[in-house]
Amino acid sequence: MDHFRNIGLIGRPGNLAVADTLSHVHQFLTQRGLHVIFDEDTAALLGNTAVQCCSRAAMGEACDLVIVVGGDGSMLHAARELVRFGTPVLGINRGRLGFLTDVAPDQLDEKLGAVLNGDYAEDTRFLLAAQVRRGNERGTELLALNDIILHTGKTVHMIEFELYVEGQFVYRLRSDGLIVTTPTGSTAYALSGGGPILHPRLDAIGLVPMHPHTLSSRPIVVDGSSEIKILLLSDIPPVVSADGQSGQSLAKGDWLYVRKHPFKLRLLHPPGHDFYEACRTKLGWHSHLIPD
């Protein structure tokens, strides 16, 4: 018996490989008698007007499971839309690294069939919520599964800011910016900035300076429940971005508040999923055992 009945499908637009995989998944699911719902953009990608579709915002209420076909970017976008509904999400990799979309296309039938039969591992990933505060004004809340990044935008100037964690002053720094990362995002942009890899089960937040103007500045890992505040001191207006999306501009004297979002993403993995194996495969770690 299938463990899920109403399945949502989301795919990255403009990619023929994604379209082919979506068509295969759709056929696989319908052959099992399951009810498939496409998000509107994905239905347009396939050019199929005969399928049932709904907005991505409504998919969380309509589906027992959502399958995302694409790369990690596709999963990040879906996560921000679906997290408040608690709908489990499964990723099929049609991107490059695929830390979040861990079903390979050549194993699709086997792995997807196992998940549909209830043979899967589930873990929860927290998101970060960020908000710019200017006096009594509060900006739109930004959500990120990977990271919140304070950066200089297209300029080459450094910015200056003060960092506070749980109300305690940490440091004043001049740098290209600061990456505030979840464990999920620690293998993304924060990794290229010299940050630590955090196991997905850790309840922790990483703070990674971007090209700091001091040799003593190092990444810091803090408790996942911490409230992080950043006071902007620079006249050059930086930008805050969530998961690489278009950001919001800040001005001198603005505060950036970052905290854990109250809802968590339910991420499903097929049988045999191994975080360290993913690191070995995708980051090129040495995979041979050393003989005794």
Active-site residue set: 72
As given in the structure block, the two tokens for residue 94 are 């049609």
Q: Residues 251, 231: contact at Cβ < 8 Å? A: no
The span from the CA of 271 to the CA of 250, in Å, is: 45
In Å, how far are 7, 68, 104, 125 from 21, measured between CA atoms? 15, 11, 11, 26
CA angle 129-242-62, nearest 5°?
A: 70
- Paired sense of beta strands 142-144 and 147-151, if any: unpaired
Beta strand ranges found along the chain (DSSP E): 6-11, 35-39, 53-54, 65-70, 89-93, 121-134, 137-138, 142-144, 147-151, 159-165, 168-175, 177-181, 204-210, 220-223, 228-232, 239-242, 248-249, 255-269
Q: Residues 25, 48: contact at Cβ < 8 Å? A: no
The span from the CA of 172 to the CA of 178, in Å, is: 12
Q: Residues 2, 116: contact at Cβ < 8 Å? A: yes
As given in the structure block, the two tokens for residue 231 are 């006071």
Angle between helices 16-31 and 108-116 (to 10 degrees): 50
Please give the backbone phi and psi of residue 149, each rounded to the nearest 5 degrees, phi first.
Answer: -125, 125
